[in-house]
Amino acid sequence: MGLIVLSLVSGGAAPAQADWATSSSYRADPYAGERPSWRASRAALPAPDDPAYSAVSGDHRLQWPLYVLDSVAAWSLYPGAYFDASTRPEDTPIVAVIDTGIDPNHPDFENPGAGGADVSQGGQILLSAARGFGCPDATDEHGHGTHLAGIIAAAANNAEGIAGLGYPVRLLPLKVADESGLANQADLAAAIVYAADQGASVILIGFTGPAWSREVQEAVDYAWERGCFLVAPAGDAGDGPPMFPGACPHVFAVAPTTIDGAVAWYASAGDQVALCAPGGDEAAGVYSTLPTYACTLRPDPGGPPYGFAFGSAQAAAHVAAAAGLWLGSAPEAPAGAANRLLWRRLQQSAVPLDESQEGWRPDSGYGLLSPAALLAGDRPLETEPGGIVGRVLSAGAPVAGAAVTAVGEGGATYTAYTTGPAGAFRLAHLPPGTYTVSAATEDASGLWEGAVVQAGCDTPAVDFSLGGPPCDSEVMEAALPAAAVCGRDLLLTLRFRNTGEGDWTRREGHCLRYTGDDAAAPPAGLEYDLPPDTPVAPGGEHTFSIPWRAPERYGYYRLAFQMAQQGGVGRFGETAEQTVAVSSFLDVPPDYWAVSSIEAVKAAGVAQGYPDDCYLPGKTITRDQMAVFIARALAGGDQAVPTGPATASFPDVPRDHWAFKYVEYCHSEGVVQGYADGYHPEGVVNRGQMAVFIARAMAGGEESVPDEGCLEPVFPDVPCDFWARKYIQFIKAAGVTSGYPDGLYHPEITCTRDQMAVYISRAFGLE
């Protein structure tokens, strides 16, 4: 069965209350000068009132990791509030902690007003689902599990002890080890399966060991296939061998950093490292909850039930907490595919440890965890390299020593080899793009086409299953849009029939793969698994429902999906594809003559279109509509347009007229003057009149429009004595108009909404 041990380098009791202070003579934040500018501007929540959050011990804050990670900035983005027993949400993500259990009576797992630590009482813990494996219950006899639990989910702003980074989540403690800190692989595997079945979104495993276990790997695969995100320590073995389960495929392994921003001296390095996070060392450990009674880490129960410990498990706990925050805040994370997307987002939002870090490193992964950047959706430069991680199986067994090669669109070739008993590989430092990946052994080979590498992250779970059945298929239904509004969320429906001779199964790697344009890729990722334990027999069909968000940038995008076998031979079936016209308005396709101007006025808040997502570009502009366009452009958006005076300036535009404030604002700015009997709001505007309005808006009123004189016609149909000559001359000189292809201006032609967008975008520099 094999034994595994806690990822724990050292531990210590809490400092005496007299050692706490609130002075500013603590060690400075080592990351302060390296943070992106958003970090200093988004912290709207006040600091929590937990005493240890603001207290210092020696030369550093007790909860220094929360300062390094800008926790308050992250909490301001999600959940945006602190909770008491009555306001705590009931459906937040479940984070399972598989370790030594928990102290169910610790006061720091109770929100203000709670009747206990259970979520049903207003607390933080799912005590009704907590259980032991190889142990009678989940009571912590060691202390390590309670320590990790506090890092993740100690109640924040409860005036008690510490604040947990992931305080909105619900904690599921699962015990697999007693006071010795030893556990066996069978109990760990059973706990992983149980956590997945209980609906855990994140599973933190606090143990490490040098031996790979097929039993544990199968449990990991079971949880991964059900959408769980599994986090584990990368290991505390220094230059020793890879440590498991952190080195298992489908597990996100985390390395520890110190208060000084360096990778800890004891940290294990290698291909398994995905990210780093605060784990501490002897100089400054991680301060968290310990049992209120005597245990291995706290043999003397006197003093506050808190203490220091350091190790890569503490680092992994911070990542598990951040993962829970993201899952609670992310509407883009569909069930079953959130783990792949979260993997990428955690890495893409990481902060480099130093100026030399570009992309992945074996000691720190893609850099330091940044919860606020994760929640804000910040991304790296598009040129930052990414990677591919996965494994090679043959007849269901891992293959060591297989050659894995990725060939890019330009022919560049990258090669790695599977290592160790897990059959895992890493292709690192790949430029973003689409790759054909192959795996080869002496007896078999497989191909994976269309593996998309994004900037600053791994493409996870590129798993090869050599020798499996092919994935021949026929498209039976493809509900893909021909047109879509920029940024609009849609649901794509695709139905495929198995035309091959063997079953499609998730275990054999059969899946739906996106092979269309990268810029239009669904947010859930590029592969969509079949349901667990639900094979599709020959002649059978399966329907996929895929959330898709149209790109924010207008253009034509190719959506394409195929049934595929991950790394198998003869994998691909028939393609379901559609070229989608994406724009802000359904009646203004990406190749429309004025699309760039219409998109510009939409982005600037000048034009909003109609409720049916149309712009009606050829519709004639009236004087009230013209006033709306110009007023919004002058003011900088609709909300900035003043409400107008108490008394109407024109009798036919009273205060209750829909365009009152716009007409009044244009009047106050010298753009419109009206007629002797009113404004005539429904009168159409011709191109000569439009030149007047635009020239006045650009110049700052009638008196400011210059008259440069006229020696020859501005246009053949705009002679020197034409009534609007100086205005047309002014906007022509400013590059607002160049007339029609026939060389004429056509001042008497009525102006349309597309022409209005062109005038506005050019006059106000919106393009």
In which element (H, E) is residue 626 found? helix 623-635
| 498-525 average pLDDT score | 80
Q: Average model confidence (pLDDT) for the chain?
A: 89
Q: Does residue 402 contact residue 392 with C-beta atoms inside 8 Å?
A: yes
pLDDT in tens, 548-571: 999 999 999 999 998 877 655 445
Helices and strands: H and E segment counts in the chain: 15, 31
pLDDT in tens, 143-161: 999 999 999 999 999 999 9
Q: Does residue 311 contact residue 143 with C-beta atoms inside 8 Å?
A: no
Strand order in the sheet with 527-529: 483-485, 575-583, 555-565, 510-514, 527-529
The whole-number pLDDT of residue 500 equals 85
Instruction: Please list the residues that pair with 231 across neighbouring strands.
Output: 204, 252
Instruction: Please list the residues that pair with 100 across neighbouring strands.
Output: 175
pLDDT in tens, 459-480: 998 888 776 666 789 999 999 9
User: What does each C-alpha distance from 31 to 349, 456, 486 come to in angstroms?
Assistant: 15, 20, 37
pLDDT band at 2 (very low <50, low <70, confident <90, very high): low
The whole-number pLDDT of residue 467 equals 65
Q: How far apart are CA 244 and CA 339, in angstroms?
A: 19
Instruction: Please list the residues that pair with 204 across neighbouring strands.
Output: 97, 231
What is the amino acid identity at position 112?
Answer: P
Q: How far apart are CA 554 and CA 519, in angstroms?
A: 11
Q: Does residue 468 contact residue 565 with C-beta atoms inside 8 Å?
A: yes
Instruction: Give the pairing type, strands 3-6 and 182-184.
Output: antiparallel
pLDDT in tens, 109-130: 999 999 999 999 999 999 999 9
pLDDT at 608 over 80: yes
**Residue with token string 């202390």:** 143
Q: Does residue 386 contact residue 454 with C-beta atoms inside 8 Å?
A: yes
Q: How far apart are CA 63 and CA 41, in angstroms?
A: 22
Higher pLDDT, 466 or 40: 466
Q: Does residue 27 contact residue 347 with C-beta atoms inside 8 Å?
A: no
Within 293-363, residue ranges assigned H as helices are: 312-329, 338-348
Rg (CA), the chain: 31
Q: How far apart are CA 148 and CA 171, in angstroms?
A: 11
In which element (H, E) is residue 99 found? strand 94-99
What is the amino acid identity at position 364?
Answer: S
Q: Which residues contact 64 (CB under 8 A, 6 or more apart)?
A: 27, 259, 278, 284
pLDDT in tens, 45-102: 999 999 999 998 888 899 999 999 999 999 999 999 999 999 999 899 999 999 999 9
Q: How far apart are CA 334 and CA 339, in angstroms?
A: 9
Query: In the chain, how long is the greatest CA-to-CA distance?
Result: 100
pLDDT at 662 over 50: yes
SS (H, E, C) 261-311: CCECCCCCCCCCEEEEEECCCCCCCEEEECCCCCCCCCCCCCCCCEEEEEC
pLDDT band at 8 (very low <50, low <70, confident <90, very high): low
Shortest CA distance to 245 belongs to which of 207, 299, 282? 207
Q: Does residue 634 contact residue 696 with C-beta atoms inside 8 Å?
A: no
pLDDT at 17 over 70: no
DSSP 8-state symbol, 694: H
